[in-house]
Amino acid sequence: MSLKLRGFTTKYATRSSPSSLWAGRALPRVEALLAVILTGLAAYLGLRFATEAGPLWRDEVSTVHLATLPRFADVLGALHLDSAPALYPTLLRLWSSPGWPDPDAAFRFSGFLVALAAAGAVWAAARTLAVQAPLLGVMLFCLHPSVIQTLGTLKPYGAGAVFVVLAFGAIWRLASAPGPRAMLWAVAASVLAVQTLYHSALLILALCLAAAAVKASVRDWRGVLCVAAPGLAAAASLVPYVRVIVRSQDWRPLSQIEPGTGHYLVRLLNIFSFWNPWLMALWLAAGALALLAAAYTLLRSGSRWAQADQGRLVYVLATMVGGAGLLLGFLASAGRNAEAWHLVPLLALVALGLDVVLSPSLRLRLARLAVVGCAIVVMVPLSARWTGVRQTNADVMATYLEQSARPGDLIVVNPWFVGITFARYYRGGVPWVTIPPMEDLRIHRYDLLKRRMAAPAPLAPLRQAILTTLEGGHRLWLVHFPWLMKFPAEGDVPAPLPPAPGAPSGWRDSPYGLAWSREIEHLVQTHALRSEVVAVKVGRPVWWAESVALLRAEGWRGP
């Protein structure tokens, strides 16, 4: 009778407790439904990006041209000119092999497929990490404006993020429930991650170290070796690329910067928040809430619930801290600026990590719902606007010049890398050249740029061509970044830089690009009778990274 009474009491208490009903039935359904709705919204925005992004911009064009070189041996031979291993160019080569009637549309659709794969990876990793509905993983990662762009862009960063997310869940599965299938899955995800992006090796290292710390805390030394296996396999898979990486060091100094450590921390926060103060405040609030929740969980060491979750919590926290430290440390030591696409995999780990930290209890799950609600208000409008932005307008300039430039005119594209996009879309007969002149504009040829920087007068032929064009009564067309072409004051003669690395900046390319621009600006200002900006309508906002303007100069002022 006592058993019946005990059962009746428990049953009655369960029925009569609103919080138990809410936590046990209603809340999981609300979370799952909201996560599904947000995932659908992410898919819609990914599709909208694919249809609204327009033609390919220079990084995408370079990737496509690399992947579609005449022979696959040429692709492998050119890897030292790129920043990723062979896996992504190989997949892109296979995707382009059917000969699509509209290649740009086909490539954009492949980016949409990567966005879908990213959403699936988030759900798979969340389930492995005991999160039934990855609200923050979907909201702060899949719906992030920079992530939508990175996933949809024809660069390996989106696919690399997918494999890192899969490895996040797979390595924890190996640590918590080791077995042959768990080992195979963890090794495969880790190897695919580093074969897509070199710097994914740092995040795989962080994942393996975090899992090893969990196993070492309970003196499971065999488990430590087990979770180290995926990292060792990933490292071994990169051995064939050692020579490629060494060869690439010849041109790497051209794009290096020398900021302090604070620069990278500020850059990290700005990229995560998309330079939006409200989103930044939301990230900081979510981070502070997660730290308090983690501290509370870890301090409750006597609780059975806490013991079950401590290992998973340690794994997630160590991954977030270790991953950020290793990735930012690498970028700082390599002198590379932290761009949004570099940090997308880390953003995924942090967003999923917040899901794990804020999911064990009713109060934390309600706090997570509040964070998601605020994020919807702030982030969704940002993402909706961002997915309607064109990635380039260099193709529009190319079409305009096909119709407007006449025989005898000269087109100058500044800087040289915009010529990669311009070359893909320009079909006119009027000759064109870049600043500095480059003989190969299929891919980013920093090795050729290095030769131009070391030459005593790299712009001499271009200067003569400009003078001949203007003196002959023809027009000069300048396709340029508005912020780069700024005519000096009258009488201000720009000083040329000595051949590299003779300048104080050494082999850094940006001072030379600026000096070359000033040299051509002064030449046009001195010898052209008149110049004016040509308004070429695009119809939609254009991403700042490749939003170019058009200047027309004509007439002859004499020597």
pLDDT for 149 equals 96
Q: How many CA atoms lie within 13 A of 5 on its CB side?
A: 2
Q: How far is Cα 193 from Cα 188, in angstroms, rounded to an integer?
A: 9
Dmax over Cα atoms in the chain, in whole Å?
112
Q: How far is Cα 23 from Cα 21, in angstroms, rounded to an integer?
A: 6
Whether residue 161 contacts residue 150, with contact meaning beta carbons closer than 8 Å, is answered with yes
- The pLDDT confidence band at residue 9, using thresholds 50, 70 and 90, is very low
Q: How far is Cα 207 from Cα 163, in angstroms, rounded to an integer?
A: 13
- Structural tokens at position 253: 């100094």
One DSSP character per residue, 265-330 reads: HHHHHHHHHTT-HHHHHHHHHHHHHHHHHHHHHHH-TT-HHHHHHHHHHHHHHHHHHHHHHHHHHH
pLDDT for 18 equals 56
Q: What is the pTM of this model?
A: 0.91
Q: How far is Cα 237 from Cα 231, in angstroms, rounded to an integer?
A: 10
- The dihedral built from the CA positions of residue 321, 323, 327 and 333, taken in this order, carries a sign that is positive
Whether residue 421 contacts residue 394, with contact meaning beta carbons closer than 8 Å, is answered with yes
The vertex-340 CA angle with 378 and 45, nearest 5°, equals: 50
Tokens 């389930």 correspond to: 127
Each domain of the chain, given as residue ranges in start order, spans 19-386, 394-554
Residue 20 has pLDDT above 90, yes or no: no
The vertex-200 CA angle with 195 and 203, nearest 5°, equals: 140
pLDDT for 492 equals 75
Q: What is the arithmetic mean of pLDDT over 195-202?
A: 96
Residue 256 has pLDDT above 90, yes or no: no
Q: List all residues 6 or more positions away from 113 whose beta carbon is below 8 Å from its beta carbon.
A: none
- The pLDDT confidence band at residue 361, using thresholds 50, 70 and 90, is confident
Query: 21 vs 12, which has greater pLDDT?
Result: 21
Tokens 């619930």 correspond to: 305
3-state helix, strand, coil in the chain (%, to 5): 70, 5, 30
- The pLDDT confidence band at residue 489, using thresholds 50, 70 and 90, is low
Task: Quick: pLDDT tens for 213-253.
Answer: 999 988 999 999 999 999 999 999 999 999 999 999 999 99
Q: How far is Cα 157 from Cα 199, in angstroms, rounded to an integer?
A: 10
Q: How far is Cα 340 from Cα 342, in angstroms, rounded to an integer?
A: 5
Q: What is the arithmetic mean of pLDDT over 170-178?
A: 95
Residue 513 has pLDDT above 80, yes or no: yes
> Which of the listed ranges 25-29, 99-103, 275-279, 408-412 does the model predict with the highest average pLDDT?
408-412
- The dihedral built from the CA positions of residue 363, 365, 366 and 367, taken in this order, carries a sign that is positive
Tokens 């029925």 correspond to: 15
Q: How far is Cα 120 from Cα 129, in angstroms, rounded to an integer?
A: 14
The SS3 assignment for 414 reads: strand
- The dihedral built from the CA positions of residue 198, 202, 203 and 204, taken in this order, carries a sign that is positive
Residue 364 has pLDDT above 80, yes or no: yes
Q: How far is Cα 381 from Cα 387, in angstroms, rounded to an integer?
A: 10
Q: Residue 352: what residue type? A: L
Task: Report which DSSP code applies to 138.
Answer: I
Q: Which of 5-14, 52-61, 108-117 has the lowest mean pLDDT?
A: 5-14
Neighbours of 367 (CB within 10 A): 18
**What share of the chain in percent tops pLDDT 70?**
93
